[in-house]
Structure formats: structure tokens, C-alpha cells
């Protein structure tokens, strides 16, 4: 997570309201509530409007995998459609690489999509009348790239997602997992900088889902895209994310790393989510480490900052005194009390 | 409702909406009957109150039509070219090549069955001796269909692209499909003059709406994610539409093409009524007028063969993805060409085939023998239906019951007796908690006594308002009353009631018979196996052809018209009833079975209520079909609006034609909205 000067995506006070005359209603509601988002949302609801996204503020950094998580109806799909400008947004600001896309012309948006943006859909959104290759090459075709050239590029991406041999199949001849591979390949055809994935694995059965998640992580490890990833599955979010935003009823209630979400949920709603998660597998030692302290006992079980709490606890089973923690270079950067490890895992019972 | 009323039987305020309006309607009707001797205008709208609306419409339209006539005539001249080309091409091509081409096309689209259909069908046409006339008809279709496809496709795409236009387009399409076909022949006649171009344009106008509807529906139904994927791929709107959305909607659009073809064929044949073109429709009409029923039936069969070929082939185009070996295609075409070349000198002229003439003759003589042998029986059927069912419905028991037919005269005492009996039944039903049903029985008895054609207008208006209010709220009630009032003041009221009577009788018969057949088909797979191809056939046959067999057996008259309407309009009732009953969700069925319900209980308590909205939609279709056929049936003798439209066509009276057509459309529209209102209410009640 390198802090670049301009984030890949930045949303400021972003609203998406559905209903007749939404734009004016939002301005009025914000004025009447004195720019209080919650009050404004209530006012809008009273007026029969649907504030699907309320006052969303976040940034996605270059190469970051940003997951937006929430239950169905929480507004996460609406939010990703605002960012990708499939919906125009009702108020606020969206910047992609510093460029204000809410104010952009249709032509500019088309150009942006041809160069910078790729999107994967929950139900794949494949074109039924085109073969795999034609589907994948379609974003190149609309730009007027020659058939030979676009077919060659399509074959590259198809092999990247492991679909060699199915180039001439039609979507109806493929399994669900294969279809989503086509969807992924198509979204990567123009080699976009920014990658939107709207619940890409939700429609797949669990085994295929895990397989595709792993492959997705591999692809991301080489491509390093800036990603907005939508899911309703906390396990998936924790597994993939650099940072997670949790949405509820149109509002982002918490943004944080997987560890922060698991160990320090801001409210009961978020806590509910992380309840079923084995915390020890998702939180890491650095989250309970006392940084900078060097007073530790005689035992050194060899803890590292990136280790999961489960692994750390296993090493400190019989220890009661503070132990040192090292970073990846072997330098001691802090200490951990074994009791803190155990306490962290029981945070929700408290 | 019933529980409520049992608890508080005396409280008027607790009556449901349905009971209230039924009561009001009953009171209005009773009041009209009682006051009839004192104030006759309550029953019959006085002639001096009639506005000369038809004349106004006529004058206005004439002025307008004269204005655009030059443009129309120019267009008509232009259309002459492609029509002549198509005519020349189809007429001049030797028949073996045409048969070879059609067979090859059939093979390419649907393999052996389609190829056989094309070959056998056209062979039949050839042997009938109606080849040249058929090719003339086909030429008209060949020119009108592309026009209709372009027109319909453009309308559909426009409605899809400009959301604001959509509701307007939908309303216009509704009107275009409810206004009877004959009605717009009259203004077209005025615009384009006599000749085949009128038929061509009429059929293009008639065939465009199904295309437009299916294009709209298809584009609407493209998965949102597919549309979004096209946007995110960076396509322009044009690219999205033509490279992604339209290809994705192909199946639905091809269904539109199929319906467009069938509508065009049907209309081209109907348009033969205005004459001037030696096509197959004209042949049917001519032979029918000369009472050469054998020939009429043969020509009718030719039409049916074309309808079946066109329908099945374009249907296969929509549903089948597989295309068949091209080599066979070329072989078949080549065979046709070689055959022609080899036998060029001795190739018989297509019109000289008379293989079927003996058949036609045999049919004629067989028919004569049949009607002679079964004359008494057939007459009895016809007369009994007329005297004991249709006539009382039309003019009421008080006028229909005569010593000459029923054996006794109707006396006022009988009327009182009938009403008293009705009152007793109503009271009993109300006591059992079915107040609305009781009131309906009384209203029904009143209508039977008076006859639909003699119903007092305040009663019709209040009854319509009541039904509208129950079915769709104030708005529908208001709309229905306003529209009906325009018919009332324009002087078409009596004819409208006559149309209402005949279509009402036919719809009722269809509902009962079609419902029963649908039920039977739902219960028994074997029955459905027999019924289904018959339904398919009845829906493929162009309207016009229905007239031939009924005419053959029952001659000209209302009863024949009634039968023709029923034969055409019964199909949706059968289909929807079966569909609704069969498609009960499995889980509901399993729940019912595990609750220990018998077959019959399941049918009554589970399937029927669940199917109600679907069956209502079937009824809705049946009503629209009946109205469509009513106008065609005017050709064989009905009174009412259909006859007016037909007369107007003969006299080139635009005002009457359009007004009567509009009145017909109004009746259809009101019926359509009401039944849909009821269906919608049922759907909501079931949470569908």
C-alpha cells in the first residue's frame, strides 16, 4: 500500500438517490438538515425517495484491492455503478486518477472505458450471440481495432484466465465458472488500470468460488490493478481485501483493514458479520503488538508481525511473559503479551 | 366478505364495494324498467339528441385526407414498382424453380420436416390450379412484409431509445390492434384509390404493431448486465444497440417477424374484399358469392397451406439455432432449374392444373347430399340455438317468446313471476352470505327479460361504471363511461349493443366450452395431444377462411357468424386455461398432496385459484379475438357495428367507417381494461 499523490479512485460526499426530481430533493434535504447525512437521508425517505448511497467518502489507492461488503439492499451494487458511471450519481464527487468523472461528457466516459476501466458482473453479462473470443475481443472491436490484432490480444487474456481450448464456444456451452472466466478475460482485454468486480463469484458454487478466488489473487499479484470488489461474503472480503468498506442501508459504516474489521468492529452490525469468522485466522500479530517496547521475558518463540493470531497463540501456549516480535528483516519492532493474544480472540464475548 | 356480512346482515354501510355497486346498478335498471312507460327516453336514446358526429368525423377526415392525398398517390405510384417487380418475379419464375427454392429454404431452416412441408404444400397449391393467384398474393406479402418490418422495427427501437415516447407508442399500438381491420380500409381507399396498393398498405399497417411490440419487448428483456457490459466495453450507443442489444434480443424479434408475416398474410387476404387484384382472397370471395363451396374450400385450403408454411418456417427460424447442410440446398435449387430446363417445352402452365377440380366437385356434391340428408337435424340445431338462446339474449324474453316458436306468448304475469323467482334466489343467496352473487342473479334475470339490444342506456352506463370501478378504480370507471357516452351521443348505440350482444354470446360460449376443453386438457395428457394441434391450426388459419365451412353448412346468417367467431375465439381460452392449471408450482402441489387432498380438491382449492389470473388473461384474449372476428363475420350477415363498417367500405363513407371502427375499438378497449383489471387484482391477491 504505497501512498501515491493522487488516489486511483476518490469519492467525496457521494449520493445516489432514486425518485423523481432526486437532484433537487437531495439539495433541499442537505440544506434543511445542515449537511447532516443521516438527517438528510431520513428527509429523503419521508419524501418517498430512495437514498441508495448516502454520503460515501473513501479513496482507493494505486494497486489496492478495495472490497465493499454489505447485505443485499445495502447499496453496494449501486455504489460500484456510480463509480463506474453506469449510474450518474445524484450528488458529490467521483475522481478517477484525479479526473472528475461525474462531470465528464458521454464521449469522455466512453474514452475512459476504452482505456482505463474494466468491469466483471455477478451474472457474467456475456453476449449470448458471440463466441468466447468474440466476447473477450468486444471491447477492442468497439475501438475499431483490426480483427487479427484483437483476436490475438483476446487469446492472451483467455490463456491468462485458463480457458484455452474453449475459444470458439458460445457462452451457453460453458459452465458457470468458465463463464465468469470469460467475464474476467473480457474486462481485462483493454488492460485497464481500474478494475470493477461486482460480486463476481457469488453465483458460483463454493468449490469453484474458492478456486477462482485463488486464481484471482494470482492474477492480481502480477497485474497490480486498482480494484473495487463487491461481495456479500465476509470470508471472501477478509481473504481478498487490502481494505474493506462495510455498507449498511446505503451508508458506509466502517472502512478498515481485515484485521481492524475483525478486531475492532465499530458497531453491532459489523460485529455480527465478524462473529462467525475465526478471528485468529484473519487478524495478525501487529494488531496486538506494543510497538517500540523492548522489555520482554526470557522466552523467544519467534513471533513475526505478519503472523496470524492463531499461529502466534500456538507458539505462546505456555508463556506468561511478554515476547519479542520481529519484522520480516528479523529486527525486533515490539513486544506482545500472550494474554493480549488470547484477549483479542475473545473480543466479542466481552 | 361473507363472514363480514353474516356478522352484520343489516348494516348497509358494511357492504363491500362490489355489493354496493351491484345494488346501485340493479336500482338504476329497475328504475328504468318501471319508468319506461312514462319517460321512454330513459330506455332508448332519442334520435333528436344524437349528434351528427359521424358526419363531422367524415367531413374532418375527408378534408384531412384530401390534403395529404397527393403525397399518398405519389407513394402509391412508387409502391407500384416493387409490387410489379415482385409480381413479375414470382409470376414469371417457372413453378419447378419456385418449389425447389421453397423446399431448399425449408431444408436449410428446419431439415427434412420443413423441406417436406414446403414441397408437399406447394405441390398441393400447384395441383389446385390456384398457382397464379397464390403467387399474386405472395407478391403482395413479399412487398408489404419488409415495409411492416422496417416500420415496426423503427417504431420499436424509437420507443426503446426515447423513454418519453414509449407510453405514447404503446397506446397507439393498442389502438392500431383494436381498431378493426376493415375500418381503416375505407380511408385508405380514399387516399390511394382502388387497387392492390391499398391492400398492401393496409397489411403493412396491420402487420407493423406485432413487430414493434416484439422489438420493444425483446430489447427491454435483454439482461441489464449485458447492457452494462456493452457500456463498460466502451461502445457508443449505436454500437451497444446494434452489436449487442439487438443480437441478444434475436429470438424475441424473430417471433415478431413470425407474427408480422402471419398478420400481413391475413390482411392481404381480407383486403381482397375491395377487389381489383386477381389474388387468392378474391378467389375465395368470388366462389363463396357464387355458392361454389367446393372451390371456395379448395382456395381456402390453399390459403391455409401458405399460412402453415410461412408460420412453421419463420417459427423455426426464431427457435431453432441449427442450420442444415448447404450442399443439399444447392442440390434442391439445381434440381428445380434442371427440371425446368429439361421439360421447358412441355412444362404445363401452372394455372392449367386441375387435379383438384374433381375433389372440389366431389365436395360440392357431397355437401349438397350431406345438407339434404341432414337438413332437418342441422336446421333444428340452428333454429333451436337461434330461437331459444340467441334471440332471447338479443331482444329479451318478452319479445322473443312467441306462440310461433315457443308455443306460448309471453305475458306480463310471467315477467313478474320471473322477477319474483329471481328475488327469492337473491334473498336466499344474500342470507347465505353471497349478497353480491344474489344481486348479480337479479341483474342477469333483468337483462334476459329485456334483451341486450334493448337495455336502457342509463343501466348500461351505470353497470359499466360499476364494473370499471370494481376492476380498476375510479379512473377506469370514468374512462369507460366517457368513452361509452361518445358512442351513445354519436348515434351508433343500437349497433354497438348488437355487437355487444353477439360478441358477448360468443365470448360466453367460448368461456364455457374453451374452459371445459382447457380443463380436460389439463387433466388428461391424451386430450391435450389431440387438442393442441387443432389449436395450433386454428391460430394459423387466416380469419377469412373460418367463414367458408360455417357458410357451407349453415348458410348466411347470425348463427353462422356466431359459430365462426366461436371457432376463432375459443383457442386462447383453451390454451390459457390449460396453461394456468398445469403450471401450479410443484411445491404447492406437494404441500396439498401431503395435506391429504384428493385430485378434485387439489383442482378446486389449489390449481383453480392459482390459475385464475392466467385464465382471466385468456378470457381477455378471447374477447379481443371475438371483436376482431366480429367485423369479418359481417361478410356473412351480422348486424351491428361490423355491418356498418362493411357498408361504409362499400359506399366509401369515411365518417361512418371510422366512427363505427372507433366504437368497436372502444368496446374492445373497455372490455380489455376491465378484464385486465380483474386479472391484476387476482395476481396481487396471490402475490404474483
Q: List chain A pLDDT tens, one digit each, 350 residues.
A: 444 578 999 999 999 999 998 999 999 999 998 888 899 999 999 988 999 999 999 999 999 999 999 988 899 999 999 999 999 999 999 999 999 999 899 999 999 999 999 999 999 999 998 999 999 999 999 999 999 999 999 999 999 999 999 999 999 999 999 999 999 999 999 999 999 999 999 988 888 999 999 999 999 999 999 999 999 998 899 889 999 999 999 999 999 998 888 888 898 888 888 777 777 777 778 778 888 787 888 888 888 888 888 888 888 878 888 888 888 888 888 888 888 887 777 655 43
Instruction: Please give the Cα distance from A120 to B258 (Å, whole number).
Output: 36
SS3 content of chain B, % helix, strand, coil (to 5): 85, 0, 15
Question: Residue B579: inside a domain, yes or no?
Answer: yes
- Pick from B229, B234, B250: which is nearest to A121 by CB? B229
Nearest beta carbon to residue A139 from set B228, B233, B248? B233
Instruction: Assess if residue B117 is contained within a domain.
Output: yes
Both B658 and B521 in a single domain? yes
C-beta of residue B252 within 8 angstroms of C-beta of residue B317: no
Which residue, among B223, B231, B234, B253, would best test binding to A if mutated, counting the most A CBs under 10 Å from its CB?
B234
Do residue A113 and residue B248 have CB atoms under 8 angstroms apart? no
Q: Rounded to an integer, what distance in angstroms lies between the CA atom of residue B570 and that of residue B535?
A: 9
**Per the CB < 8 Å rule, is B233 touching A113?**
yes
CA A244 to chain centre: 6
Is any Cβ of chain A less than 8 angstroms from the Cβ of B223? yes
Question: In sequence order, what DSSP letters do the residues of B26-39 get, joined into one string?
Answer: HHHHHHHHHHTTT-
Same-domain check for residues B545 and B656: yes
**B537 and B673 assigned to the same domain:** yes
From chain B, the residues in CB contact with A122 under 8 A are: 225
Supply the range of the domain harboring residue B343: 93-128+290-371
Q: How many CB pairs under 8 A join A and B?
A: 67
CA of B244: which chain A residue's CA is closest? A127
User: B470, B489, B508: which is the final residue of a domain?
Assistant: B489
Looking at the structure, tell me whether residues B30 and B111 fall in a common domain: no
Residues of chain B in contact with residue A121, where contact means CB-CB under 8 angstroms, are 225, 228-229
Q: What is the ipTM of this complex?
A: 0.81
Rounded Cα distance between B574 and B422, Å, is 32
Say if B640 falls within a structural domain.
yes
Across the interface, of B228, B234, B247, the residue whose CB is closest to A125 is B228
Residue B285, classified by CB atoms within 10 Å of its CB into exposed (0-12), middle (13-18) or buried (19+), is buried
Of B351, B371, B391, which one is at a domain's C-terminal end?
Answer: B371
Cβ <8 Å between A123 and B223: yes
Cβ partners under 8 Å of residue B393, min gap 6: B448, B451, B452, B501, B504, B505
The CB-side HSE value for B672 (13 A sphere, CA atoms) comes to 16
Which residues, given as ranges, of chain B have pLDDT below 70? 1-15, 275-276, 320-321, 347, 350-351, 355-356, 688
C-alpha Rg value of chain A to the nearest Å:
23
Do residues B321 and B426 share a domain?
no
Domain membership of residue B135 (yes or no) is no
Question: Looking at residue B276, what is its pLDDT?
Answer: 62
Cβ proximity of B168 and B155 under 8 Å:
no
First to last CA, chain B: 22
| Tens-place pLDDT, residues B178-234 | 777 777 788 888 788 777 788 888 888 888 988 998 999 999 999 999 999 999 999
Q: B157 and B219, same structural domain?
A: yes
In a domain, B523, yes or no: yes
Q: What span, in angstroms and rounded, lies between the C-alpha atoms of B355 and B346?
A: 18
CB contact under 8 A, A196 and B225: no
Helix (H, G, I), strand (E, B) or coil at A226: strand
Q: Which residues of A touch B (CB under 8 A)?
A: 81, 84, 86, 110-111, 113-114, 117-119, 121-130, 138-139, 141-143, 183, 186-187, 190, 196
Mutate which: A116, A139, A142, A182, vs B, most B CBs within 10 A: A142
Q: Is residue B87 part of a domain?
A: no
Interface contact flag, A186 B226, Cβ < 8 Å: no
Chain B interface test: which of A108, A112, A128, A185 (most B C-beta within 10 Å): A128
Tell whether B232 lies on the interface with A, counting CB pairs under 8 A: yes
Domain identity same for B503 and B416 = no
DSSP string, B639-675: -SHHHHHHHHHHHT-HHHHHHHHHHHHHHHHHHHHHH
Inter-chain residue contact B232 with A123, CB threshold 8 Å? no
Cα–Cα distances (Å) from B16 to A22, B168, B367, B464, in that order, read 39, 36, 56, 18
The per-residue DSSP string of B235-304 comes to: --HHHIIIIIIHHHTHHHHHHHHHHHHHHHHHHHHHGGGG--S--HHHHHHHHHHTT-HHHHHHHHHHHH
The residue count for chain B: 688
From CA B26, how far away is CA B423, in angstroms rounded?
12
In whole angstroms, what is the distance from residue B684 CA to residue B681 CA?
A: 5
Residue B14: predicted pLDDT:
62
- The verdict on residue B57 lying in a domain is no
Q: Is residue B35 located within the same domain as residue B111?
A: no
Domains of chain A plus CATH, in order, are 9-116+192-277 (3.40.50.300), 280-345 (3.10.580.10)
Minimal CA–CA distance to A90: which of A24, A35, A135, A31? A24
The pLDDT of residue B491: 81
Total domains present in chain B: 4
Strand partners, A53: A16
Cβ–Cβ gap B228/A122 under 8 Å: no
How many Å apart are CA B518 and CA B429, to the nearest integer? 29
Q: Spell out which residues of chain A touch residue B225, defining contact as CB-CB under 8 Å.
A: 121-125
Residues paired with residue A54 on neighbouring β-strands, in sequence order: A251
Domain boundary among B346, B371, B396: B371
B322 touching chain A per CB within 8 A:
no
Cα distances (angstroms) measured from residue B652 to each of B58, B637, B656 = 10, 20, 9
- Are residues B220 and B122 part of one domain? no
pLDDT at B516: 92
- A143 interaction partners in chain B (CB closer than 8 Å): 234
Whether B276 and B192 map to the same domain: the answer is: yes
B336 with B388, same domain: the answer is no
- State whether B415 and B466 are in the same domain: yes
Cell representation of residue B297:
374450400
Give me the residues paired with residue A12 across strands.
A93
Q: Which residues lie below 8 Å from residue A317, measured CB to CB, with a gap of 6+?
A: none
Q: What is the pLDDT of residue B216?
A: 92
All cell numbers assigned to A189: 482485454
In a domain, B264, yes or no: yes
Q: Which of A20, A120, A138 to mutate to test the interface with B (most CBs of B within 10 A)?
A: A138
What are the chain A neighbours of B239 within 8 Å (beta carbons)?
A: 142
Amino acid at each position: 500500500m504505497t501512498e501515491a499523490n493522487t488516489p486511483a479512485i476518490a469519492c467525496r460526499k457521494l449520493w445516489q438517490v432514486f425518485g423523481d426530481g432526486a437532484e433537487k430533493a437531495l439539495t433541499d434535504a442537505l440544506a434543511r438538515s445542515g449537511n447532516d447525512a443521516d438527517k438528510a437521508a431520513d428527509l429523503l425517505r419521508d419524501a418517498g425517495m430512495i437514498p441508495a448511497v448516502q454520503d460515501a467518502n473513501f479513496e482507493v489507492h494505486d494497486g489496492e484491492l478495495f472490497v465493499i461488503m454489505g447485505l443485499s439492499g445495502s447499496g453496494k451494487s449501486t455504489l460500484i455503478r456510480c463509480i463506474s458511471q453506469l449510474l450518474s450519481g445524484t450528488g458529490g464527487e467521483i475522481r478517477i486518477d484525479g479526473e472528475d468523472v461525474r462531470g465528464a461528457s458521454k464521449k469522455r466516459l466512453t474514452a475512459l472505458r476504452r482505456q482505463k476501466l474494466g468491469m466483471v458482473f455477478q451474472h457474467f453479462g456475456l453476449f449470448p450471440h458471440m463466441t468466447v473470443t468474440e466476447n473477450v475481443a468486444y471491447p477492442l472491436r468497439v475501438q475499431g481495432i483490426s480483427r487479427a490484432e484483437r483476436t490475438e490480444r483476446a487469446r492472451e487474456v483467455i490463456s491468462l484466465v485458463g480457458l484455452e481450448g474453449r475459444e470458439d464456444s458460445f457462452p451457453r456451452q460453458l459452465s458457470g465458472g468458465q463463464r465468469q472466466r470469460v467475464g474476467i478475460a473480457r474486462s481485462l482485454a483493454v488492460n485497464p488500470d481500474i478494475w470493477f468486480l461486482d460480486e463476481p463469484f457469488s453465483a458460483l458454487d463454493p468449490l469453484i468460488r474458492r478456486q477462482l478466488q485463488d486464481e484471482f489473487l494470482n492474477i492480481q499479484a502480477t497485474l497490480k490493478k486498482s480494484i473495487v470488489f463487491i461481495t456479500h461474503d465476509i470470508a471472501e472480503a477478509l481473504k481478498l481485501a487490502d481494505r474493506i468498506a462495510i455498507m449498511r442501508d446505503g451508508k458506509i459504516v466502517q472502512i478498515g483493514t481485515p484485521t481492524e474489521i475483525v478486531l475492532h468492529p465499530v458497531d453491532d452490525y459489523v460485529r455480527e458479520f465478524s462473529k462467525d469468522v475465526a478471528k485468529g485466522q484473519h487478524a495478525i500479530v501487529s494488531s496486538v503488538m506494543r510497538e517500540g517496547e523492548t522489555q520482554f521475558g526470557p522466552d523467544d518463540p519467534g513471533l513475526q508481525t505478519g503472523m496470524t493470531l492463531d499461529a502466534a497463540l500456538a507458539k505462546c501456549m505456555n508463556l506468561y511473559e511478554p515476547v519479542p516480535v520481529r519484522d520480516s528483516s528479523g529486527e525486533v519492532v515490539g513486544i506482545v503479551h500472550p494474554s493480549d493474544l488470547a484477549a483479542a480472540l475473545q473480543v466479542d464475548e466481552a | 366478505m361473507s363472514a363480514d356480512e353474516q356478522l352484520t346482515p343489516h348494516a348497509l354501510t358494511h357492504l363491500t364495494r362490489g355489493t354496493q355497486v351491484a345494488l346501485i346498478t340493479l336500482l338504476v335498471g329497475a328504475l328504468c324498467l318501471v319508468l319506461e312507460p312514462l319517460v321512454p327516453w330513459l330506455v332508448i336514446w332519442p334520435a333528436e339528441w344524437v349528434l351528427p358526429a359521424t358526419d363531422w368525423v367524415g367531413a374532418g377526415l375527408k378534408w384531412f385526407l384530401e390534403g395529404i392525398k397527393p403525397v399518398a398517390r405519389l407513394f402509391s405510384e412508387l409502391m407500384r414498382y416493387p409490387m410489379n417487380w415482385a409480381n413479375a418475379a414470382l409470376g414469371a419464375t417457372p413453378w419447378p424453380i419456385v418449389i425447389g427454392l421453397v423446399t431448399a429454404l425449408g431444408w436449410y431452416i428446419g431439415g427434412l420436416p420443413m423441406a417436406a412441408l414446403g414441397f408437399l404444400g406447394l405441390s398441393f397449391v400447384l395441383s389446385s390450379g390456384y398457382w397464379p393467384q397464390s403467387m399474386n398474393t405472395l407478391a403482395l406479402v413479399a412487398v408489404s412484409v419488409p415495409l411492416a418490418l422496417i416500420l415496426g422495427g423503427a417504431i420499436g427501437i424509437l420507443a426503446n431509445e426515447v423513454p418519453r415516447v414509449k407510453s405514447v407508442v404503446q397506446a397507439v399500438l393498442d389502438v392500431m390492434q383494436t381498431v378493426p381491420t376493415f375500418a381503416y380500409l375505407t380511408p385508405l381507399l380514399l387516399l390511394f384509390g382502388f387497387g392492390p396498393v391499398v391492400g398492401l398498405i393496409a397489411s403493412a399497417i396491420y402487420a407493423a404493431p406485432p413487430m414493434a411490440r416484439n422489438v420493444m419487448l425483446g430489447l427491454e428483456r435483454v439482461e441489464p448486465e449485458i447492457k452494462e457490459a456493452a457500456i463498460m466495453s466502451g461502445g457508443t450507443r449505436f454500437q451497444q444497440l446494434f452489436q449487442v442489444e439487438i443480437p441478444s434480443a434475436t429470438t424475441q424479434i424473430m417471433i415478431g417477424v413470425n407474427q408480422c408475416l402471419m398478420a400481413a398474410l391475413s390482411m392481404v387476404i381480407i383486403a381482397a374484399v375491395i377487389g381489383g387484384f386477381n389474388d387468392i382472397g378474391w378467389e375465395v370471395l368470388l366462389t363463396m358469392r357464387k355458392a361454389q363451396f367446393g372451390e371456395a374450400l379448395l382456395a381456402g385450403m390453399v390459403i391455409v397451406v401458405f399460412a402453415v408454411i410461412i408460420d412453421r418456417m419463420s417459427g423455426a427460424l426464431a427457435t431453432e439455432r441449427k442450420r442444415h447442410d448447404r450442399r443439399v440446398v444447392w442440390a434442391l435449387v439445381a434440381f428445380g432449374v434442371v427440371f425446368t430446363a429439361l421439360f421447358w417445352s412441355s412444362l404445363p402452365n401452372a394455372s392449367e392444373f386441375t387435379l383438384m377440380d374433381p375433389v372440389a366437385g366431389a365436395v360440392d356434391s357431397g355437401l349438397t347430399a350431406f345438407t339434404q340428408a341432414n337438413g332437418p337435424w342441422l336446421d333444428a340445431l340452428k333454429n333451436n340455438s337461434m330461437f331459444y338462446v340467441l334471440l332471447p339474449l338479443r331482444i329479451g324474453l318478452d319479445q322473443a317468446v312467441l306462440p310461433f316458436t315457443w308455443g306460448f306468448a309471453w305475458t306480463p304475469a310471467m315477467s313478474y313471476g320471473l322477477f319474483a323467482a329471481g328475488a327469492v334466489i337473491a334473498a336466499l343467496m344474500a342470507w347465505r352470505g353471497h349478497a353480491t352473487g344474489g344481486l348479480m342473479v337479479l341483474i342477469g334475470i333483468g337483462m334476459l327479460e329485456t334483451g341486450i339490444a334493448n337495455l336502457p342506456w342509463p343501466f348500461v352506463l351505470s353497470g359499466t361504471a360499476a364494473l370499471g370501478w370494481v376492476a380498476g378504480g375510479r379512473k377506469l370507471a370514468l374512462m369507460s363511461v366517457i368513452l361509452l357516452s361518445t358512442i351513445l351521443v354519436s348515434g351508433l348505440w343500437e349497433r354497438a349493443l348488437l355487437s355487444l350482444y353477439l360478441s358477448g354470446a360468443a365470448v360466453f360460449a367460448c368461456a364455457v366450452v374453451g374452459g371445459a376443453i382447457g380443463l380436460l386438457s389439463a387433466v388428461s395428457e391424451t386430450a391435450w395431444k389431440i387438442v393442441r394441434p387443432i389449436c395450433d391450426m386454428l391460430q394459423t388459419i387466416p380469419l377469412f377462411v373460418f367463414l367458408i365451412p360455417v357458410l357451407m353448412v349453415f348458410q348466411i346468417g347470425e348463427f353462422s357468424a356466431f359459430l365462426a367467431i366461436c371457432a376463432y375465439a375459443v383457442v386462447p381460452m383453451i390454451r390459457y386455461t390449460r396453461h394456468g392449471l398445469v403450471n401450479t408450482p410443484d411445491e404447492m402441489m406437494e404441500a396439498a398432496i401431503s395435506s391429504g387432498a384428493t385430485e378434485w380438491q387439489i383442482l378446486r382449492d389449489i390449481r383453480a385459484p392459482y390459475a385464475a389470473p392466467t385464465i382471466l388473461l385468456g378470457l381477455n384474449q378471447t374477447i379481443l379475438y371475438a371483436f376482431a372476428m366480429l367485423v369479418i363475420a359481417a361478410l356473412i350477415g351480422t348486424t351491428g357495428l361490423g355491418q356498418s363498417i362493411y357498408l361504409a367500405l362499400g359506399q366509401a363513407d369515411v365518417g361512418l367507417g371510422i366512427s363505427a371502427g372507433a366504437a368497436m375499438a372502444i368496446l374492445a378497449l373497455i372490455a380489455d381494461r376491465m378484464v385486465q383489471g380483474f386479472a391484476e387484482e387476482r395476481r396481487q391477491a396471490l402475490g404474483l
